[in-house]
Copies of this chain bind each other. A is one copy, B any other.
Amino acid sequence: MKYHFSDRVPKTDVDPVGNILKVAGDPKVMSFAGGLPAPELFPVEQVKKAADKVFDTKGPSALQYGSSQGVPELRNVIVDRLKIDGINTDVDHVMVATGSQQSIDLTGKMFLDEGSVVIVENPTYLTAVDVFRSYGAHFVGVDMDEDGMRMDALEQALKDNPTARLIYTIPTFQNPTGRTMTLDRRKKLLELAVKYDVMVLEDNPYGAIRWEGDNLPSLKSMDTTDHVIYMGTLSKILSPGLRLGWVVAEPKLIKKYMMMKQSADLHTDSLAQYIAAEYFAENDIDEHVQAITALYHKREQIMMAAIDKYFPKNVTHSNPEGGMFLWVMVPGVDDTQKLFDAALERNVAIVPGDPFFGNETIPGTFRMNYSNTPEEKIDDGVKRLAEAIREVMA
């Protein structure tokens, strides 16, 4: 059968990231490629207890159709969590989504037409690039440094693209770089969003996992003009398998999101929502997040020490204060794929930088994940990766 696909469907069947994750899944490969939480920390017993209580007290509701906006009990939990990011709001400003990925998808569907400009960090979350592209986005990448998106470059991009529809940013422990935007830049970004009247989509999946430095206010917490749509998720602090995320915006925009969500999947799994709400009612989430943070910090320290020990001195990298990723820049490499291939020959997997860029890439870059690799294996993996780097640089 020869199908007549829409223009949104990628012409190629080649899925480079899918292929990377597939080889990375080979048990003999040590993978720094994925972005998985450490499953040994999932609070299985507590979630089971929460589930039992849900079945005992509201079983039929948990199995029935529900509201597109989400279960009120969970929206209450979310409102409470938002205070950590300085956002004081109420349940009318919150919609539950089927993971953050759906929040991005619905935002793209709502705000982008063919050729609409989306301003993204250079590099940015790769699946956001896929989604926005599927709605016709034209990307303008804004260069970053260790303090996040450069504001001079952002203002230039806004001047050059007066019809830009969206600025997509992950200000804290960014994916893929692990970098965090400074407070001054957050304020400047907001100022520019208002000046050029562009919506900001603030994605904050990793913010709670901080082991160094002070919590910074979210963009949304400083937004007085409703230019910021905020996204959060339970994927990194409780469980990604439950697919629970949320969007925060003014109620009239939440109503539009609900209309789009109704078309997309009617509503998010009621059972998962009730279970999550019950988990929060019965457990100390902050304690759990501290345990996650401690483990990831330990793994990051081991990885950093190994990098210092084995990598050539002119290879640079980010220094995350939290989150799950770091970003490596190898000078003098024109084809990043070579780094991937050389690493894989040594049974180590990383994600080459290319798919994280909206348009032009920075060659010689790649992402490393430390949250999902047992401590005792990290040093050896980095050592082998260093050999691969030296081979490609030679």
Contacts and interface: CB of A to CB of B under 8 A. Distances in A.
Interface stretch (A5-13, A72-80, A297-305, A343-351): A5-13
Interface string A25-68: 00000000000110110101101100110011001111111100
A54 B160 CA distance: 54
A214 interface: no
A98 interface: yes
Nearest to A43: B63
B271 A241 contact: yes
Q: For the complex formed by this chain, how many copies does it contain in all?
A: 2
Given A4-B111, A9-B260, A42-B64, A99 B265 contact: yes
Contacts of A239: 63-64, 271
A271 B242 contact: yes
A239 B264 CA distance: 18
A253 interface: yes
Nearest to A8: B109
B242 A63 contact: yes
A134 interface: yes
A331 B51 CA distance: 51
A367 interface: no
A255 interface: yes
Contacts of A227: 1
A314 B61 CA distance: 40
A313 interface: no
B59 A110 contact: no
Interface in A240-287: 240-243, 250, 252-253, 255-256, 259-260, 262-272, 275
A36 B65 contact: yes
Given A44-B59, A64-B241, A268-B243, A127 B263 contact: yes
B116 A6 contact: yes
B243 A131 contact: no
Contacts of A260: 9, 134
A241 B66 contact: yes
A127 B9 contact: no
Given A5-B110, A6-B113, A267 B253 contact: no
Interface string A98-139: 110110010001111100100000000001001100110000
Interface string A281-320: 0000000000000000000000000000000000000000
B6 A109 contact: yes
B101 A135 contact: no
Given A6-B111, A63-B242, A15 B268 contact: no
A268 B272 CA distance: 11
Contacts of A51: 48, 51-52, 55
Contacts of A130: 262-263
Interface of A: 1, 3-10, 13, 15, 18, 36-37, 39-40, 42, 44-45, 47-48, 51-52, 55-56, 59-66, 98-99, 101-102, 105, 109-113, 116, 127, 130-131, 134-135, 165, 199, 225-227, 235, 238-243, 250, 252-253, 255-256, 259-260, 262-272, 275
5 interchain residue pairs of minimum CB distance: A44-B59, A241-B270, A48-B55, A63-B239, A1-B226
